[in-house]
Amino acid sequence: MLHITRSVPFPHLAQIGTHSAGLHHDLESVMNRPRLRRQRIVIGADTYLPDVNGAANFTHRLATGLLGRGHEVHVICPARESGPGSTLEKGLMVHRLVSHRTPFHPTFRVCVPWQVARPAARLLDEVAPDVVHIQSHFPVCRGLAAAARRRRIPVVATNHFMPENLLGYARLPAWLAGVACRLAWRDLVRVFHRAYIVTAPTPRAVQLLHEKGLRCAAEPVSCGLDLDRFAQPLLDGGDGRRRVLFVGRLDQEKNVDQLLHALALLPERLQAIGEIVGDGCHRRVLEDLARQLSIWDRVTFHGLVSDQEVLHAYARCDVFCMPGTAELQSLVTMEAMAAGKPIVAADAMALPHLVRPGSNGYLYPPGDIHALAAHLAALLDDASARAQMGAVSRRIIAAHDLGHALRTFEELYLKAAAGESAAAPAPAVESEHDEQSARFSSLMTSPRSA
């Protein structure tokens, strides 16, 4: 899910998260545990800073967090305009592989398998890591996973990908989009089968992987947050109006049009306005819709903004709305919860894992604009309910502490290493048919998912 909201990448965000059930430890015991032994870790990513999206932020925050806990961390990712090479970036060794522009997005850069597989393997030989943690099934991570398995280096994989989130960029006809999705899921599963352990942000995201054919061990590891970063004092908008906030990319599957239609249904006495933070290919369409609905004067499209401006938007809003239906977890919803806000969200994918109806907000049937408007109106009309639900949001999100997340991944790495050492050699050799399938999938879908 491309996370186009900020003008620069968040320095404090990462999709790393809560301890999975398979490790059988509660939050308190894990948080009190001392740091585990120092490890040499390679993190593979097909999107990394300065890209602005959830997967890039995940990789950066995971890498810097592990570095801060005393580990040696190497990031292997696509090169930028300046070309391939290795640099030390604030203590992190970042190795960038040759990459190319794409027609799908002006800032997207992709690698192709036949150009990066050997350089990725050589880097593994030079670094000799204890574990490789891949963030996708695209060429950089594909090459790392295959090379690691041949060297019996344990692989951990994290999925941030839903092909449905990328179809808006490819603009394929419906029949071809369905074929591309099936091929993309099949290709992801084939690559992820090289991992000893797979993680995804929520139990629903893990279930989706199994539904798509994944048969190896998979555990839910939720997105982690620096909770103190969002626990700011409330801000007064200064105009007496009540604010509904959306943060995210403005593309089709986010369904921001439903929020605009719902705002048009709210009674005037509520003095409700909408704030839309983010950008995307549907922004102009949404701006035109706001004019058509005669609510242009009640909706602000902020576009790309700074980190601090996003924090201010959370602090001054009264209700956060997430109408998206393809959320593997929804980092921005978690951020709003950490800011102490009630949530109104679509009852789809992973959002029910965050929203407890009647406790910290409401869920509505996707596409039911009248239900969405009714929930917004109820909250905007009741300051006491907003305060109570916002407090519950903070309690729910407390389980997603970043320090807890880092400990979780440290233990997953050790668990994978122990399992790999005990397992028989299982080198992954791609057939020509598999490689052609991989190339087709890479061409049909961009790697910038989150």
The per-residue pLDDT for range 153-201, each reduced to its tens digit, is 999 999 988 876 665 555 666 667 778 888 999 999 999 999 999 999 8
Contact 186, 157 (CB under 8 A): no
Q: Quick: pLDDT tens for 370-426.
A: 999 999 999 999 999 999 999 999 999 998 888 888 899 999 999 999 987 666 455
Whether 147 and 257 share a structural domain:
no
Of the chain, the percentage scoring pLDDT greater than 70 comes to: 82
Beta-bridged to residue 76, according to DSSP, are 44, 95
Residues 259 and 181 grouped into a single domain: no
Q: Is the peptide bond before 50 cis (omega within 30 degrees of 0)?
A: yes
CB 332 within 8 A of CB 4: no
Task: Classify 40 as helix, strand or coil.
Answer: strand
Residue 234 and residue 143 in one domain: no
374 with 406, same domain: the answer is no
Residue 313: the pLDDT is 96
Number of separate domains in the chain: 2
pLDDT of 256 > 90? The answer is: yes
Q: What is the pLDDT of residues 94-138, one digit of tens each?
A: 999 999 988 766 667 899 999 999 999 999 999 999 999 999 999
Q: Are residues 219 and 257 in the same domain?
A: no
Host domain of residue 354: 230-398
Q: Is residue 11 part of a domain?
A: no
| Domain-located, residue 137 | yes
- Residues 409 and 133 sit within 8 Å (Cβ to Cβ): yes
Q: Please state the rounded mean pLDDT for residues 209-217.
A: 94
Same-domain status, 113 and 184? yes
Measured distance CA(21)–CA(24) in Å, rounded: 6
- Would you say residue 260 lies in a domain? yes
113 and 218 inside one domain: yes
E strand or H helix that includes residue 218: strand 218-220
39-68: per-residue pLDDT in tens? 999 999 999 988 877 788 889 989 999 999
In a domain, 4, yes or no: no
Most confident of 25-34, 163-172, 261-270: 261-270
Across 233-252, average pLDDT:
87
Residue 238 in contact with residue 34, Cβ under 8 Å?
no
| Residue 207 counted as domain residue | yes
Taking the C-alpha atoms of residue 318 and residue 233, their distance in angstroms, rounded to an integer, is 13
Are 418 and 297 members of one domain? Answer: no
Tell me the HSE value of 213 on the side-chain side, using a 13 A CA sphere.
Answer: 12
Rg (CA), the chain: 22
Tokens 């007496």, located at residue: 240
Question: Domain check: are 81 and 134 in the same one?
Answer: yes
- Rounded to two decimals, the pTM is 0.79
Residue 6 covered by a domain: no
Question: Do residues 236 and 291 both lie within one domain?
Answer: yes
State pLDDT tens for residues 315-366.
999 999 999 998 888 889 999 999 999 999 999 998 999 999 999 999 999 9
Of 438 and 75, the one with more pLDDT: 75
449 part of a folded domain? no
CATH number where 61 lies: 3.40.50.2000
The pLDDT value recorded for residue 429 is 47
| Residue 12 falls inside a structural domain | no
Residue 72 and residue 213 share a domain: yes
pLDDT attached to residue 436: 41
d(CA 7, CA 24): 40
pLDDT of residue 166: 63
User: Are 244 and 174 part of one and the same domain?
Assistant: no
